[in-house]
Amino acid sequence: MKTECEILIIGAGPAGSTLARELSKHAIDNILVQRNFNFKKPCGGGVRVDAFDEFGLDKKYIKKDIHTIILAFKEKRISVDIHENPLAIVERREFDSYLRDEAKNAGSVVYEATFIDVQIQEDCVLSSIKIGNEIKTIKSKYLVAADGVNSKIRKMINKDQVPSLMTNYADLNSLACTDCEFHFGEEIASKEYAWSFPEANGTNIGTLSRGDTPYMSNFENSLGVDEEHKIYGYKIPKYDKALFYKTRVFFVGDSATQVLPFTYEGIYYAMSSAKILAEVLAQRCEPDEYEKRWNKKYLRKFQTLKKLQQIFLYNDFMVALMMRMYQSKSIQEKMIDLWLRDRKVTIDFMFFMRLLVRLLTSRPKQTS
Ligand SMILES: Cc1cc2nc3c(=O)[nH]c(=O)nc-3n(C[C@H](O)[C@H](O)[C@H](O)COP(=O)(O)OP(=O)(O)OC[C@H]3O[C@@H](n4cnc5c(N)ncnc54)[C@H](O)[C@@H]3O)c2cc1C
């Protein structure tokens, strides 16, 4: 068994596997460790289709193409045509396994093993992993925590947990759903959203919940769900400030809180952040270059979306204003630009504020 490498990566989700693959392409010696090859990450599986081109991924793993998204609030529904920039639905067990295989094919050494412990030395990192019934030590120059929202490495190294929010979700067979639906309102997802996404076999629904309010049952009632089903809970990172590096350990993906506020899009940002880190390591830059490059690319977008979420999802009154705003095709276009077209496009916060003032000072159009 290989017990020495330059970069040891813990966690083979989209972040870890993308990092391993990119490092191998740059001929950087790496080991990728994943606890359970059969793990299925709880996830809506929505990724923008053009991410497949950006990361050179095979589109045969797309289970469904989504050409319309629905924004819903109480009885109001707005259809937004995204056929020029469609979304893909992937099945996470299959998608993660494919990404892991891609890393292996590129030259990464991949182990099914569990990270247990770490000792940071002056010139290296010694990590203990459990492989079968044996505990092995792997020596590396750097360790990468790509171990998700419950990151054990973050708890050990940064002495904190990933800031997060609990989601409730369920897989349903009887509910027909062909578009990705985003549902808003204080009763079903206060300050957040609830979703209904098609999957390979049926529909995945869920809500980003807080506190004791029965958001999930309120949401199910609003959808008219009457099928017997199990409700699961899983955390999702709530971006505040990303964590990038500490004492020979890099953080990427959910462990770093790199999930876009408002939309909670995490798959793309896990892969993209991994690519930024791979380039920094390949170019032998100082570790803080990772944070600099990430901030240059994404900080403004993350901060602005966080502010927009705080304002537009503050309460039902603000959600109603947001829905009025999204009736306009030109605002829909702006949203698609920001969300699905150019990742580099900067969000003009003041544009939304001017619009908000206009909406607050104008009367709603009468609808028949
Ligand atoms: C209910 C729900 C719905 C979501 N829907 C969407 C969506 O539709 N679209 C979207 O873009 N994002 C969505 N997300 C967010 C998305 O799933 C994450 O942001 C994304 O998976 C982050 O990738 P990652 O590689 O950082 O972490 P993960 O995908 O969580 O991968 C971490 C890996 O590390 C492994 N691991 C953990 N600890 C250890 C250990 N000690 N040893 C070895 N291995 C370990 C885990 O088994 C896991 O495979 C959703 C999240 C939730 C909870």
300-354 pLDDT, tens digit per residue, is: 888 888 988 999 999 999 999 999 989 888 888 887 777 776 655 556 777 777 7
Domain's final residue, options 237, 269, 293: 237
Which residues on adjacent β-strands are paired with residue 32? Answer: 9, 110
Q: What are phi and psi of 145, to 5 degrees?
A: -90, 100
| CATH at residue 223 | 3.30.9.10
pLDDT at 352: 75
209 and 170 within one domain:
yes
Full domain range(s) for residue 187: 164-237
Q: Whose CA is nearest to atom 2 of ligand 1?
A: 43
142 and 179 within one domain:
no
Gap from CA of 184 to ligand 1 centroid (Å): 24
Gap from CA of 13 to ligand 1 centroid (Å): 6
236-240 long-range contacts, CB within 8 A, separation 24+: 236/149, 236/164, 236/165, 236/167, 236/208, 236/264, 236/266, 237/149, 237/162, 237/163, 237/164, 237/266, 238/163, 238/164, 238/165, 239/163, 239/302, 239/306, 240/163
Is pTM beyond 0.75 here? Answer: yes
Gap from CA of 43 to ligand 1 centroid (Å): 8
Name the burial class of residue 132, with classes exposed (0-12), middle (13-18) and buried (19+) by CB atoms within 10 angstroms of its CB.
exposed
Q: 111 CB less than 6 Å from ligand 1? A: no
Q: 168 CB less than 6 Å from ligand 1? A: no
Q: 128 CB less than 6 Å from ligand 1? A: no
pLDDT at 366: 54
205 and 100 within one domain:
no
- Which numbered atom of ligand 1 lies nearest the CA of 256? 26
Q: Which of 38, 150, 254, 305 best tests ligand 1's pocket when mutated (most atoms within 8 Å of CB)?
A: 254
Residue 10 lies in a domain: yes
pLDDT at 331: 83
Q: 260 CB less than 6 Å from ligand 1? A: no
Q: 254 CB less than 6 Å from ligand 1? A: yes
Gap from CA of 76 to ligand 1 centroid (Å): 32
Q: 33 CB less than 6 Å from ligand 1? A: yes
171 and 134 within one domain:
no
Q: Whose CA is nearest to atom 19 of ligand 1?
A: 266
184 and 149 within one domain:
no
191 and 229 within one domain:
yes
* pLDDT at residue 362 greater than cutoff 80: no
Residue 50 lies in a domain: no
pLDDT in tens, 254-274: 999 999 999 999 999 999 999
Q: 34 CB less than 6 Å from ligand 1? A: yes
Q: Indicate the Cα dihedral angle 46, 49, 53, 58, nearest 10°.
A: 70
Gap from CA of 96 to ligand 1 centroid (Å): 9
Q: 147 CB less than 6 Å from ligand 1? A: yes
Amino acid code (one letter) for 11: G
The answer to whether 109 and 5 are in contact (CB under 8 A) is yes
Gap from CA of 150 to ligand 1 centroid (Å): 9
pLDDT at 344: 55
Lowest mean pLDDT among 24-33, 51-60, 107-116, 171-180: 171-180
Residue 252 lies in a domain: yes
Can you count the helices (H) and strands (E) in the chain? 12, 18
Residue 70 lies in a domain: no
Gap from CA of 67 to ligand 1 centroid (Å): 25
170 and 154 within one domain:
no
Query: Per the structure, how many domains does the chain have?
Result: 3
